[in-house]
Chain A
């Protein structure tokens, strides 16, 4: 049973370019969450999606960031016109449901470096 997959594991972008981060949830999971981890910090929630729907995007920056989780294919976190402050590790997590005890299974993360 494959875990949560993220790719690429490492991504280098120049300022102003676009970054696309992909997340394939665990088999059977329809709930996906994105988190950002800045250096020396804990993970911060960004967005929660179900298939075709954004449920909670309260942690997403208002500009340049977007996320989708289409009915077919992986979830995508897109960052347009990246800046140095976007350099971080981006983690995707998935869960089977949103029941109280449900842990979220994390992917290995994508480390974005903006030069």
Chain B
């Protein structure tokens, strides 16, 4: 089974609007972390936000927030007030702390911000 599923290959959003990128995950480990990375066309992977499985509150980092619904095993990324520079690929990733070391990545969502 896929550990991380991102069902939106491509998304469009108007500049200044908010957009939600979907991510669902599958794990039996009670202790895990969820991450979102941005990959612009230049190719580097940029860390955006982290949510731990035991965190009581949804993570926020500036314009990024993570809508964490543990029972549904979803960790959607919300980008508020989209900017042209937000156009990029976005990857959701998970790390299972009891098994350890690697990240599991989804297939990504390509976001295009329209002026």
Contact B52 A100 (CB under 8 A): yes
Contact A43 B91 (CB under 8 A): yes
A-B contact pairs, 20 of them (CB 8 A): A33-B101, A35-B103, A41-B108, A42-B91, A43-B93, A44-B105, A45-B104, A48-B102, A58-B102, A89-B43, A93-B45, A98-B100, A100-B31, A100-B97, A103-B47, A104-B103, A106-B46, A106-B47, A108-B42, A109-B45
Contact B52 A56 (CB under 8 A): no
Q: Name B101's closest neighbour in chain A (CB-CB).
A: A48
* Interface of chain A residues 81 through 110 with chain B (CB within 8 A): 89, 91, 93, 98, 100-101, 103-109
Contact B43 A98 (CB under 8 A): no
A93 to B102, CA, bound (A): 10
What residues of B have a CB within 8 angstroms of the CB of A33 in the complex?
101-103
Report A98 CB to chain B, min CB distance, Å.
Answer: 6
Contact B45 A101 (CB under 8 A): no
What residues of A have a CB within 8 angstroms of the CB of B44 in the complex?
106-109
Known contacts being A41-B107, A101-B33, is A106 close to B102, with CB within 8 Å?
A: no
What residues of A have a CB within 8 angstroms of the CB of B37 in the complex?
106
Contact B4 A59 (CB under 8 A): no
What residues of B have a CB within 8 angstroms of the CB of A101 in the complex?
33, 50, 52
B interface, how many residues as a size bin?
20 to 34
18 other contacts beyond A48-B101, A101-B33, A106-B46, with CB at 8 A cut-off?
Answer: A40-B107, A41-B107, A42-B4, A42-B91, A42-B107, A42-B108, A56-B101, A89-B43, A91-B45, A93-B45, A101-B50, A103-B47, A103-B50, A104-B103, A105-B47, A106-B37, A108-B42, A109-B45
